[in-house]
Amino acid sequence: MGAGVLAEQSPAPTWVVDGAGRLVWANSAWLAETGAETLAEARERGSVSTAAPTGWWPRPCA
């Protein structure tokens, strides 16, 4: 089983961005949190900073 398959099955929102902060991949839990129905819809919203679930990232370390 590959990492992508495992990440897709995870209930935790999981996403990958490129060096410019553009969304490359996201699991269905992340899409549900952002309200996007598809990865394409999430990409249309812009950078992950505008499409990321509120309060998820970045989070300061304590």
Mean pLDDT of 22-31: 90
Give the bridge partners for 16, in sequence order.
25
**pLDDT (0 to 100) of residue 28:** 92
Q: How far is CA 58 from the centre of its chain?
A: 12
CA distance readout (Å), 14 to 3, 17, 43, 57: 11, 10, 15, 11
**pLDDT (0 to 100) of residue 50:** 46
- Rounded distance between C-alpha atoms, residue 40 and residue 18, angstroms: 15
Question: What pLDDT digit, counting tens, does each position of 28-57 carry?
Answer: 999 998 889 999 998 888 656 545 555 555
- Rounded distance between C-alpha atoms, residue 26 and residue 10, angstroms: 11
